[in-house]
Amino acid sequence: MASNQIMFILFSVMIVVFSVLTVTSRRILRAAVYLLFVLVSTSGLYFMLNYQFLAAVQLTLYAGGIVVLIIFSILLTSHISQNFESSGWKKNIFSAIAALIGALLSIITILDYKFSATTEVAQEVNMKLIGKSLLSTGYDGYVLPFEIISVLLLAAMVAAIVVAKKVSPKSAELQNLKQ
């Protein structure tokens, strides 16, 4: 067995095991940590494919950003002794059915697709290439999604500021009067 396959099996076993642990753990912070392990192993898969940029982005955005935010909100809201109760059998059955249907759909789609194996060596994706295609308007360009996502992020940021903004005492009084 080649080293590539061993690494692939290692990463995929980690992803599967920790994904299951994420949803079955009764302690919320442990679930968040298992999720972290899933995301880190996924970035390991990207490193294996020699797509280093995506791997590093996966690490910064998901492991360093989103998981930190999740942990942060858990830290602010829940106490260490808090354990979640296990859900009732009705819920369990319905979620099992939903999960099975989802798994079946994706397995069917994957089996339907004819993966053609190549013997070519995996190429390193250059940063310049990524940058250029991200901002080009041509055939391989991604400028439209890039701009739309920027606008979306800007809107989210403005919304966050509006939500977090302190209300000045004068306008608070005015609002009270209106009510």
CB of 123 to other proteins, least distance (A): 11
Task: Give every CB contact of residue 56 below 8 A, 6+ residues apart in sequence.
Answer: 43
Q: Does 153 bind other proteins (CB under 8 A)?
A: no
Scanning 52-60, 84-92, 134-142, 165-173 for contacts with other proteins by CB under 8 A, the matching segment is: 52-60
Distance CA(178)–CA(62), nearest Å, equals: 44
CB of 5 to other proteins, least distance (A): 11
| Binding flags for other proteins, 55-84, as an x/- string (CB under 8 A) | -xx-xx--xxx-xx--xx-xxx---xx---
Q: Does 137 bind other proteins (CB under 8 A)?
A: no
Choose between 72 and 94: whose C-beta lies nearer to other proteins. 72
CB of 81 to other proteins, least distance (A): 7
| Residues within window 28-47 making contact with other proteins, judged by CB under 8 A | 29-30, 33, 36, 40
CA 111 to chain centre: 25
| Residues within window 97-136 making contact with other proteins, judged by CB under 8 A | 124-127
Choose between 26 and 91: whose C-beta lies nearer to other proteins. 26
Q: Does 53 bind other proteins (CB under 8 A)?
A: yes
Distance CA(60)–CA(170), nearest Å, equals: 42
Give the interface with other proteins as residue ranges (CB under 8 A): 2-3, 27, 29-30, 33, 36, 40, 52-53, 56-57, 59-60, 63-65, 67-68, 71-72, 74-76, 80-81, 124-127
